[in-house]
């Protein structure tokens, strides 16, 4: 049995594709009323129009997840560390499905899992996938990072479905950092488009953003080829190009002078966390620096772009 922690858009989408493939899923959300209603209506508010298959048991009682060998964690990154200990669960495998760097500890999701669930093998699931696409059964491919090769292979089989294809790797740092850092670049690209700076500016930000993602990730032990894969280039391409991305939409709102959308935008906190990591590892991250200043309201898009353009000319 698989337990999914977090009944937001992504947790619900993962539960839906797994249940359609015949897995039994317990889906935990923190709001008792919402989860009780979901048992009747077979729908959840974050994924309107998607019917929960019979194999999903929606619950707000963490005890219902005690018999789940494998847990998927799909709650916002900055809540992960505080939420896990309150659930009292001891799974064999714990798979993070969130993207980001914890602002307090500067750790990625699997380090948070290792500390909170010491008996579980930690893993990370990340890559280009909008929750609505997964829930609609559209073709999707993700990376599964797990240091333990046997556990990684077992999880790859357990969590792949006819429409969700997982590729496995032992490069956990690469998968984590690819998924975390692309959100920051997506905000920058959204801001450029929102401010009317054009598609060429977006392409430049994506490319130079990718260069600094690589610099930080490899300084932290990740492999370049992982960053060139699904959880890196793949997710960067998706979120920097699609208005469906909440991080892109946040940037777009800032660039256009609109009110920021009320949505989970992991790139906001991760921009600041990534800058701190960059300092520790002696890595230059100008796009991330500009984005952190932009979301904090310290600079305008025009000033941020001017600061990027005014930097000393250098080799690619
Ligand atoms: N929505 C998407 O298309 C994708 C999302 N993700 C990742 O999945 C993670 C979750 O995002 P979404 O599901 O999209 O967000 P969401 O905003 O749809 O849902 C977040 C859920 O977490 C719950 N939550 C918030 N704080 C909590 C806490 N302290 N304890 C328990 N539950 C809490 C909320 O009630 C909500 O149900 C993020 O890290 C995101 O980057 C990854 C790939 C795709
Ligand atoms: O991570 C995602 C797609 O892979 C979802 O992106 P947003 O969180 O920006 O919506």
Q: Per-residue pLDDT tens for 164-200?
A: 999 999 999 999 999 999 999 999 999 999 999 999 9
**pLDDT value at residue 84:** 96
Distance 96 CA to ligand 1 centre (A): 11
Mean pLDDT of the chain: 98
Atom number in ligand 1 closest to CA 11: 13
Pick from 99, 164, 185 the residue to mutate for probing ligand 2's pocket: most ligand atoms within 8 Å of its CB: 99
Task: Fill in the DSSP letter of residue 116.
Answer: H
| pLDDT block averages, 10 residues each, the chain of length 316 | 98 98 98 98 97 98 98 98 97 98 98 97 98 98 98 98 98 98 98 98 98 98 98 98 97 97 97 98 98 97 95 95
Question: Which residue, judged by its Cα, is nearest atom 33 of ligand 1?
Answer: 75
**pLDDT value at residue 183:** 98
Nearest listed ligand to the Cα of residue 97: 1
Atom number in ligand 2 closest to CA 182: 1
**pLDDT value at residue 191:** 98
Which residues carry a binding-site annotation for sn-glycerol 3-phosphate? 99, 127, 129, 182, 235, 245-247
Distance 67 CA to ligand 2 centre (A): 30
For ligand 2, whether the C-beta of 268 sits within 6 Å is no
For ligand 2, whether the C-beta of 178 sits within 6 Å is no
Distance 156 CA to ligand 2 centre (A): 21
**pLDDT value at residue 96:** 98
CB 211 within 8 A of CB 218: no
Atom number in ligand 1 closest to CA 127: 43
Please give the full DSSP string across 18-55, using - where no structure is assigned: HHHTT--EEEE-S-HHHHHHHHHHS--TTSTTPPPPTT
Helical H segments across the chain, by residue range? 9-20, 32-41, 77-87, 109-116, 131-135, 149-159, 172-194, 199-219, 224-227, 235-241, 246-256, 267-280, 286-295, 301-309
Distance 264 CA to ligand 1 centre (A): 7
Residue written as tokens 């935990």?
28
Q: Which domains does the chain have, with CATH numbers?
A: 2-170 (3.40.50.720), 176-310 (1.10.1040.10)
**pLDDT value at residue 189:** 98
Most distant CA pair in the chain, distance: 61
pTM of the model: 0.98
Would residue 182 show up in a list of annotated catalytic residues for this protein?
Answer: yes
Q: Residues near ligand 1 with C-beta < 6 Å?
A: 6-11, 29-30, 46, 74-77, 79, 83, 97-100, 129-131, 264, 266
Q: Is the ipTM of this complex over 0.95?
A: yes
Cross-strand pairs, 72: 4, 95
Pick from 10, 177, 183, 230 the residue to mutate for probing ligand 1's pocket: most ligand atoms within 8 Å of its CB: 10
Query: CA 24 from chain center: how many Å?
Result: 24
d(CA 77, CA 72): 13
CB 65 within 8 A of CB 2: no
Phi, psi of 93 (to 5 degrees): -125, 135
Distance 100 CA to ligand 2 centre (A): 11
CA distances from 183 to 100, 210, 242, 288 (A): 8, 11, 12, 10
Q: 26, 57, 182, 252: which one is catalytic?
A: 182
CB 147 within 8 A of CB 170: yes
Atom number in ligand 2 closest to CA 264: 8
Nearest listed ligand to the Cα of residue 248: 2
């Amino acid at each position: 049995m698989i337990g999914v922690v977090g009944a937001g858009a992504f947790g619900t989408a993962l539960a839906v594709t797994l249940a359609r493939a015949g897995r039994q899923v317990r889906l935990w959300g923190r709001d008792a009323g919402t989860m009780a209603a979901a048992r009747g209506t077979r729908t959840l508010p974050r994924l309107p129009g998607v019917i929960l298959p019979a194999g999903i048991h929606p619950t707000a009682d963490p005890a219902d997840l005690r018999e789940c060998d494998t847990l998927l964690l799909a709650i916002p990154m900055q809540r992960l560390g505080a939420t896990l200990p309150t659930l009292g669960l001891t799974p064999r495998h714990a798979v993070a499905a969130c993207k980001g760097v914890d602002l307090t500890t500067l750790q990625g999701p699997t380090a948070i899992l290792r500390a909170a669930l010491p008996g579980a093998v930690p893993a990370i699931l990340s890559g280009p996938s909008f929750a609505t696409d997964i829930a609609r059964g559209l073709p999707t491919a993700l990376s599964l990072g797990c240091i333990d090769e046997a556990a990684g292979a077992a999880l790859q089989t357990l969590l792949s479905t006819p429409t969700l294809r997982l590729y496995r790797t032992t490069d956990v740092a690469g998968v984590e950092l690819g998924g975390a850092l692309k959100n920051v670049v997506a905000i920058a690209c959204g801001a450029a488009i929102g401010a009317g700076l054009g598609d060429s500016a977006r392409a430049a930000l994506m490319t130079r953003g990718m260069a600094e993602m690589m610099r930080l990730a490899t300084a932290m032990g990740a492999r370049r080829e992982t960053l060139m894969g699904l959880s890196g280039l793949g997710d960067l391409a998706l979120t920097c190009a699609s208005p469906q991305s909440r991080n892109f939409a946040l940037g777009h709102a800032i660039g256009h002078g609109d009110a920021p959308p009320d949505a989970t935008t992991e790139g906001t906190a991760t921009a600041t966390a990534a800058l701190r990591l960059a300092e520790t590892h002696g890595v230059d991250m100008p796009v991330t620096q500009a984005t952190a200043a932009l979301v904090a309201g310290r600079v305008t898009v025009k000033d941020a772009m001017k600061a990027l353009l005014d930097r000393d000319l250098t080799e690619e």
